[in-house]
Amino acid sequence: MVLKYNIIYKKIKEDIENGIYKVNSKIEDEKTLAKYFNCSRMTVSKALDLLVQEGYIYRKRGQGTFVLSKVKQKNKLMVPERDIKGLTKITKESNYSISSKVLFFNLEFADKKLAEKLQIKEQDPVYNILRLRIVDNKPYVLERTYMSVQLISGITEEILLNSVYDYIENTLGLKIASANKTLRASISTEEDQKFLNLKPVEPIFEVEQIAYLDDGTPFEYSISRHRYDLFEFTSFALKQ
Amino acid sequence: MVLKYNIIYKKIKEDIENGIYKVNSKIEDEKTLAKYFNCSRMTVSKALDLLVQEGYIYRKRGQGTFVLSKVKQKNKLMVPERDIKGLTKITKESNYSISSKVLFFNLEFADKKLAEKLQIKEQDPVYNILRLRIVDNKPYVLERTYMSVQLISGITEEILLNSVYDYIENTLGLKIASANKTLRASISTEEDQKFLNLKPVEPIFEVEQIAYLDDGTPFEYSISRHRYDLFEFTSFALKQ
DNA sequence: CAGTGGTCTAGACCACAGA
DNA sequence: CTGTGGTCTAGACCACTGT
């Protein structure tokens, strides 16, 4: 379906990225934009709200709407802040090569902590997977993944070498909706050092994640340990 | 001013946090809520949008609105993900004690990189500040801060020992509006180890930040190096 | 004062899910 | 079919800014 606010959002975003609107310059007021896009002011406002949240523009009551200077993106793999995608998709979209090694793939009974995270019963069967993901021929991240067997059935080594998220969405027909992430720095373990080719003094950027389907079911609990020099995370915050 | 959508947002958020709505249960439909709060459906919808973005609820067209299981917050200092506050305010709101040591406080000429970040000219005067922030009597973060002297005038050691953000907002009358953050793990330097009381193998959680006023001017460029075991960052992502 | 964005209304039509 | 959320309208009044 064609969403008007999405069209307006994309158009203005493009114009900013292409320099048609300069940094700190004022853009048209909402009434003018509403006439131009042949829609109501509410719809324009919704589109501008999206751009405010992403840090493209800021609005001042009584004055107008202005272009905010965006920080340029670095020459690193960009993990989207507010979206949820598998690493396979992220790398492909950025034209990086990716391959995976399955280091461990087993069935286990959920312990208490894991059962709580995945909202299943203690002793319910879960996959325990450890994969090394190699991006651009460099070891990038060591991913430990737990998923409920009852929910995500039929995982094979073949699937683990490709995209698990693709399998969940396209083969199982489930919809991935959201994720909670906790980020921290951590001392590298011997395992990290071995597989990510790190010196003992080199740390890890750890991301702990619970991902949810569109019916609110947590389907994945994962701990990703990234090479500290190949991963960074960007965030935009607004004063409330 | 009393905002209706804010009242509705807060009420439902409280009800979820107090367990009045159980996890995965359905909440009232938008029309019913609109009647209950004596407002239009659009206003209810705006309130629910906020809750979706923060991961409290999810909505399914044709079915209803449901409570999503929130991850419990840890017994650590919580840095708000989508808001922007100084460390002084964050610690006080969480009833932590905070003190600061000013390790370095000098006037300098901006080099090319800094001039670009702060959108000033090369050789313009800037403050270069290094502070150790001590939370709950433990060294917590080493903060390197650069600010344009022309924009943020009158900084004193006294102000640095209290809240710079308070000074900017209350004394200078400027409005802090937003910030771009980049997060990464980093090997600790000898300086980090000395002031944060770290062993050489213990890493740093670094946050690089450019903060903006409400007129889009960048007023602060800072690099904060946190003890890896006292700082973590949480984020909620939605499939787009 | 006029011009701006912020909020809010009372509807409308649509897409989608389940009975 | 009904009930749900998603989008959209064409206004309205308000708060704030600069002239």
pLDDT tens digits, one per residue of B82-110: 888 899 999 998 899 999 999 999 999 99
Residues of A in contact with B239 (CB under 8 A): 83-84, 175-178
For the residues B153-179, what does the mean pLDDT come to? 94
Instruction: Look at residue B82 in the predicted model and tell me its pLDDT.
Output: 82
Does B239 lie at the interface with A, CB-CB under 8 angstroms? Answer: yes
Residue the block writes with tokens 């094979």: A156
Residue A137, pLDDT > 80, answer yes
Average pLDDT over residues A117-135: 97
Nearest alpha carbon to residue A207 among A189, A185, A237: A185
Per-residue confidence (pLDDT) for residue B1, from 0 to 100: 79
Residue B169 pLDDT > 80, yes or no?
A: yes
A23 min Cα distance to partner chain B (Å):
9
Average pLDDT score over residue span A144-154: 96
CB B181, CB A234: distance < 8 Å: yes
The predicted pLDDT at position B70 comes to 73
Task: Compute the average pLDDT of residues A17-38.
Answer: 95
pTM of the model: 0.93
CB-based contact B34:B43 (threshold 8 Å): yes
Give chain A positions within 8 Å (CB) of B27: none
The answer on pLDDT for A161 being more than 80 is yes
- CA distances, B145 to each of A55, A216, B173, B221 (Å): 22, 42, 20, 6
Q: How confident is the model at residue A166 (pLDDT cuts 50, 70, 90)?
A: very high
The nt closest to B45 (CA vs C1′) is D5
Provide mean pLDDT across the span B179-206: 97
Please tell me which residue, B75 or A179, carries the higher pLDDT value: A179
CA dist., res. A181 & res. B237, Å (int): 8
Question: For B212 and C3, how far is CA from C1' in angstroms?
Answer: 25
**H runs (alpha helix) in A81-147:** 87-93, 112-118
DSSP 8-class letter at A161 = H
How far is the alpha carbon of B103 from chain A, nearest alpha carbon, in Å?
25
Look over chain B and give the mean of its residue pLDDT values, rounded to a whole number.
94
In chain A, which residue's Cα lies nearest the Cα of B198? Answer: A187
Flag whether residue A72 sits within 8 Å of chain B, measured between CB atoms: no
What pLDDT shows up at residue A11?
Answer: 97
What integer pLDDT is reported at residue A71 of this predicted model? 64
Helix (H, G, I), strand (E, B) or coil at B209: strand
Closest CA to A70 of A125, A21, A35: A21
Instruction: Tell me the nearest-neighbour CA distance from A155 into chain B, angstroms.
Output: 22
Torsion of CA B48, B57, A208, B240, to 10 degrees: -60
Nucleic chain C contacts, Cβ below 7 Å: A 1, 29-32, 41-42, 45, 48, 59-65; B 2-6, 38-43, 46, 60-63
In this prediction, residue A60 carries a pLDDT of 95
A27 nearest nt, CA–C1'? C4
**pLDDT higher than 80, residue A151:** yes
Query: Could you report the per-residue pLDDT of A68-94, keeping only the tens digit for each?
Result: 987 666 677 888 788 888 999 999 988
Which amino acid would we find at residue A189? T
What average pLDDT does this structure show over B16-42?
Answer: 96
Residues of chain A above pLDDT 90, percent: 87
Please report the sign of the dihedral spanned by the C-alpha atoms of residue A136, residue A54, residue B165, residue B233: negative
**Residue of B65 and B93 predicted with greater confidence:** B65
On whether any CB of chain A is under 8 Å from the CB of B176, the answer is yes
Average model confidence (pLDDT) across chain A = 94
pLDDT of A72 reads 61
The predicted pLDDT at position A76 comes to 79
Taking residues A94-123, what's their average pLDDT? Answer: 96
CA dist., res. B196 & res. B138, Å (int): 8
Amino acid B107 CA to nucleotide D5 C1' distance, rounded Å: 57
Predicted local confidence at residue B31, as pLDDT: 97
